[in-house]
A and B are shown apart, each in its own frame.
Chain A
Amino acid sequence: MTAVWRTANLLTKSWPDGVVVYNQDSGNTHLLTPIAGQVLKLLADAPADAPTVARRLAGQIDLDSDLELDYNVASLLNHLDSLGLIESVIA
């Protein structure tokens, strides 16, 4: 079963070269890459699984998603999960 992810309780501020994220639950602050910030923004708009996030990301730059993209998005989501920035929800 594919995990559906949503953001934790975050405050974010975006710049062209990065995104600062404050986790209101843990009190930790992270400076993320722009793409990681974009993934968080997509999940803040609507919880989604990795293939859906990959499809939305690819669609923003007129690309089609594929397995390699899905894999890399899933890897990124796992990393964000380990930081406590996202959490899985029951689909």
Chain B
Amino acid sequence: MGLKERDKPNSNSTEESCDSMAKETGSPMAKESHNSTNRSPNMRRRALIAGLAATPVLLSLTNRSALGQNVDCSLLSSIILGGSVNDLPPGFDHKNPDFIENYYQTHCVEGGEPGTGNATGNSGRSTNGTGNSN
């Protein structure tokens, strides 16, 4: 009731998908190479090198829970200045320097470093006077 056919857990399409995954025991390339064994060695070699030379990553999904956790801004700044990335939590340890710097700029500079002040400026004191004190 209310479920489309594709949403039902025992729909045929789902079963077919699971079956195909269960039967898939060998490597993708092995299947591909099996289909290409009739090609000439030079063609196979070219295909292999083309596959190796292509960007290996088609899509990446970053661990969002890791990005959601608080990271010490001083730690990030030390890493930007050349420190070790070993102390970073999972999800950050393999990020490139640009990512870490952008993250630092977003979370520690523009929004204010956590624990060091109120980013909204509602501290009760204003350093920007609106009038002449004299």
- A and B from one complex: yes
Interface residues of A (CB under 8 A from B): 13-19, 25-38, 41, 57-58, 60-63, 68-69, 72-73, 75-76, 79-80, 82-84
B91 contacts which chain A residues (CB < 8 A)?
A: 26-28
> Can you list 28 pairs linking A and B with CB atoms under 8 Å apart?
A16-B24, A18-B58, A25-B90, A26-B63, A26-B90, A27-B65, A27-B66, A27-B90, A28-B63, A30-B57, A32-B56, A33-B55, A33-B57, A35-B29, A35-B48, A35-B51, A35-B52, A36-B56, A36-B57, A38-B28, A57-B29, A58-B45, A63-B41, A63-B48, A69-B48, A76-B52, A83-B60, A84-B94
A60 contacts which chain B residues (CB < 8 A)?
A: 29-30, 33
Of B29, B48, B57, which contacts A31 at CB under 8 A? B57
Count of interface residues, chain B, beta-carbon cutoff 8 Å: 36
Number of residue pairs spanning A and B whose beta carbons lie under 8 angstroms apart:
118
Q: Using A15-B28, A30-B60, A37-B28 as known contacts, list a sample of 7 further A-B pairs with CB atoms less than 8 Å apart, ordered by residue number in A.
A: A29-B61, A34-B51, A38-B27, A57-B29, A61-B36, A62-B44, A72-B53
Q: Top 4 closest A-B pairs, CB basis?
A: A27-B63, A36-B56, A84-B94, A34-B28
B44 contacts which chain A residues (CB < 8 A)?
A: 61-63
Closest chain-B Cβ to A69's Cβ sits at a distance in Å of 6
Q: Which residues of B (17-63) have their CB < 8 Å from a CB of A? A: 21, 24, 27-33, 36-37, 41, 44-45, 48-49, 51-63
B59, A41: Cβ atoms under 8 Å? no
Which of A25, A29, A38, A61 has most B Cβ within 10 Å?
Answer: A61
- B29 — nearest CB in chain A belongs to which residue? A38
- B64 — nearest CB in chain A belongs to which residue? A27
Question: In the complex, what distance in Å separates the CA atom of A16 from the CA atom of B55?
Answer: 17
- B47 — nearest CB in chain A belongs to which residue? A61
Closest chain-A Cβ to B86's Cβ sits at a distance in Å of 13
The answer, yes or no, to whether B93 is at the interface (CB within 8 Å) is yes
Closest chain-A Cβ to B121's Cβ sits at a distance in Å of 35
B66 contacts which chain A residues (CB < 8 A)?
A: 26-27
